[in-house]
Amino acid sequence: MKILVTGAAGFIGSKLCTKLLKNKKTTIYGLDNLNTYYSLEVKKLRIDSLKKKKNFKFIKIDLKNNQNLKKLKSIPKIDIIYHFAAQAGVRFTVREPKKYFNDNIKAFFNIINFAKEKKVKKFFFASSSSVYGDQKKFPIKENFELKTKNFYGLSKKIDEICAETFSKIYNIKTVGLRFFTVFGEWGRPDMLIFKYIKANLSKNKFYLNENGEHFRDFTYIDDVTSILTKLQNVKLKKNFSIFNICSNNPIKIIEVIKKINKFNSKFKYIPIYSKALKKIEVDITHGNNNNIKKHLKNFKFSNFDKSLSKTVKWYIENEIHKIT
């Protein structure tokens, strides 16, 4: 089997490649533009680790320029595409809204059109819980109205519409994955857990918005990659499918901070209250995962405390704060 993974130097993309490469009969083509939104050193370390496998091929490419896709013409056949390349970050949308149009919408159109030309069996793509915006009823189901409140969520909503349209017109199996707060080893340096640890180990101040009173549906990376690989073999009735990828276990941010503090009682934070962040961030993310459980019988999500413990220990022991 030949699988193409975009965003291969990213958190989810690199961890998925690692899991897929365990099957030596599978060839993985990993694509990434190696942007500098966060530490390039971290991305290079991820790719260097993947390059050690003979069945991994890395291609540096910027997907928003359609001409660049000519680099992929030499690949004779692609069975599955996992499209995870994107401009991430909700807060960054305020400063650089145009990047979300170029990197998330233009690039998406180019890669799904490429999938059409290659006649892939399945096209998986990363969406986000950000498409839901503020909701009043929980847990959030896939059929809830989308009330996006930032440009990141908007770009993912447009990607979903584009994918559904392609699936109807060209008969492509497309699967949208609405990721909630994914965490774990080799996670994104711009996310809460690693930012908090780094600030304290580097003796810098850490500002916690609204004293951490908001809730997030944390989902462990190993659960995510297991779901993604298992979905390969699931027969989906419709050409277009959407799944919440979440634990259905929302946890208050301040409680996560307290759990991390057990590893180092000297860790501190400064509470702030930002009106600007209130405009673009939601108070609660809490997804319903019945749909994914229906399709993946007997799937069990990891225990949060154990997963957090492994993540924090890995970060501290490997002194990741020194390279991010």
Reported as type and span, the H/E element at residue 175 is strand 174-179
Rounded CA-CA distance 16/2 in Å is: 14
Of the candidates 132, 112, 104, the one whose C-alpha atom is nearest the C-alpha of residue 96 is 104
**Distance from chain centroid for Cα 49:** 19
Helix ranges, 52-184 (H): 97-100, 107-118, 151-170
Of the candidates 23, 5, 16, 312, the one whose C-alpha atom is nearest the C-alpha of residue 184 is 312
Cβ atoms of 199 and 322 closer than 8 Å: no
152 part of the active site:
yes
Name residue 127's beta-bridge partners.
Answer: 178
Catalytic residue among 152, 220, 269, 315: 152
C-beta neighbour count of 48 within 10 angstroms: 11
**How far is CA 238 from each of CA 114, 141, 210, rounded to the nearest angstrom?**
21, 18, 42
Q: What are phi and psi of 235, to 5 degrees?
A: -85, 115
Of the candidates 23, 10, 13, 68, the one whose C-alpha atom is nearest the C-alpha of residue 2 is 23
Tokens 């704060």 correspond to 321
Q: What are phi and psi of 57, to 5 degrees?
A: -120, 120
Cβ atoms of 47 and 32 closer than 8 Å: yes
Rounded CA-CA distance 307/220 in Å is: 7
Token couple for 35: 């942007």
Catalytic residue ranges:
152
